[in-house]
Amino acid sequence: MEIIETIKDQIAKNPVLLYMKGSPNAPQCGFSARAAKILVECDARFAYVDILQNPDIRAALPTYANWPTFPQLWVDGELVGGSDIMLELFEKGELQPLIKAAVEKSV
């Protein structure tokens, strides 16, 4: 149960949080690379968790989130989705204001 508390704490403390494989500067899969690039293009300040370095989180998060794959973008405590959903929202111009509102709310 302790790992779920860690996940909840990470989500609560970071208005924009990306669970990904690798890091934004060194992603370890194409989907994570695309997700990080989208956030950079949104000019977003975001936190990330490398699930490859955190196997307990990697194992527990899909069940907690009810979302089986990575990356996972969380904004203002809510799961937005993976890189396909992020790209769709970005292309529609809907991701940027969502992120901006979450960041402004946290200041």
Q: What is the CATH number of the domain that holds 95?
A: 3.40.30.10
Q: Domain total for the chain?
A: 1
Can you say which residues are annotated as belonging to the binding site for glutathione?
21, 58, 70, 83-84
Can you say which residues are annotated as belonging to the binding site for [2Fe-2S] cluster?
29
pTM to 2 decimals? Answer: 0.95
**Distance in angstroms (rounded) separating the CA atoms of residues 6 and 25:** 24
Q: Angle, nearest 10°, between helix axes 83-92 and 30-41?
A: 30
Contact present, 69 and 62 (Cβ < 8 Å): yes
Contact present, 14 and 47 (Cβ < 8 Å): yes
Can you say which residues are annotated as belonging to the binding site?
21, 29, 58, 70, 83-84
Question: Whole domain around residue 96: which residue ranges?
Answer: 2-106
pLDDT digits (tens), the chain, 107 positions: 699 999 999 999 999 999 999 999 999 999 999 999 999 999 888 999 999 999 999 999 999 999 999 999 999 999 999 999 999 999 999 999 999 999 888 87
**Distance in angstroms (rounded) separating the CA atoms of residues 24 and 75:** 17
